[in-house]
């Protein structure tokens, strides 16, 4: 199965399929029909059939989907079949929360370092066994370690400059929690998590409800 053949709309639904298939695996479920999956996920079974028809690993009519095969196929498409090294810029509460999620590591997102401007945090292992470095050391660290993803968990004022430094050093992707849009060279992936905009969406929906 080639990723280019999968429509974008299906792709955006993949992480949710991946989550439900993972839960089924944990429960020891080997096969599931689209009807059963439909009930769990609260989407129509025809949507599920259409979506999952893009992937290998489903049995014939009446046999349902083979959970481990489908799970592995989706993992591969999402790039979860290999390890991504990740650094976290900002060792405040949010940076520490993100660095502390064992679940990311389980998915192959390996957090190797934290960076912070607070000298009291530098040189210490503030989260699990992950060392915190000074902000000035980003370049040296990237010269000597393989880093693909940087998590930006600093206030918006400092974010553009740090993003530029990361890009200059060849970062491949930035997971941006800083509340500003980043200007990056073509080819660098940015995924924004603008928390206050999510909260505004919630607030808007409350006005509707």
Distance CA 40, CA 48 (A): 11
Which C-beta is closer to a second copy: that of 16 or that of 125? 16
Instruction: Confirm or reject binding of residue 9 to a second copy (CB under 8 A).
Output: no
> Considering only residues 31, 68, 85, 104, which one is a binding residue for a second copy as defined by CB under 8 A?
104
Distances (CA, A) of 40 to 6, 36, 51: 23, 6, 16
Distance CA 161, CA 205 (A): 35
Distance CA 101, CA 195 (A): 18
Distance CA 48, CA 177 (A): 32
Binding mask 71-100 for a second copy (x = CB under 8 A): ------xxxx---x-------xxx-xxx-x
Instruction: Confirm or reject binding of residue 152 to a second copy (CB under 8 A).
Output: no
Site for a second copy, rule CB under 8 A: 3, 11-12, 14-16, 18-19, 42, 77-80, 84, 92-94, 96-98, 100-101, 103-104, 107, 109, 148-149, 172-173, 175, 179, 181, 187-189, 191, 193-209
């Amino acid at each position: 199965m080639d990723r280019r053949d999968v429509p974008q709309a299906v792709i955006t639904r993949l992480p949710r399929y991946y989550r439900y298939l993972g839960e089924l695996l944990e429960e020891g479920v080997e096969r599931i029909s689209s009807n059963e999956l439909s009930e769990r996920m609260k989407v129509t079974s025809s949507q599920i059939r259409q979506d999952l028809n893009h992937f290998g690993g489903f049995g014939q009519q009446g046999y349902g989907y083979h959970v481990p095969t489908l799970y592995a196929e989706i993992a591969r498409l999402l790039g979860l079949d290999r390890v991504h090294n990740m650094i976290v810029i900002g060792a405040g509460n949010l940076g520490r929360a993100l660095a502390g999620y064992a679940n990311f590591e389980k998915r192959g997102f390996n957090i190797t370092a934290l960076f912070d401007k607070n000298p009291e945090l530098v040189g210490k292992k503030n989260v699990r066994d992950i060392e915190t470095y000074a902000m000035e050391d980003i370049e040296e660290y990237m010269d000597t370690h393989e880093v693909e993803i940087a998590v930006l968990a600093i206030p918006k004022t400092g974010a553009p400059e740090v993003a530029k430094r990361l890009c200059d050093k060849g970062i491949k992707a930035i997971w941006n929690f800083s509340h500003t849009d980043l200007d990056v060279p073509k080819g660098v992936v940015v995924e924004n998590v603008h928390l206050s905009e999510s909260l505004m969406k919630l607030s808007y929906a409350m006005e509707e409800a």
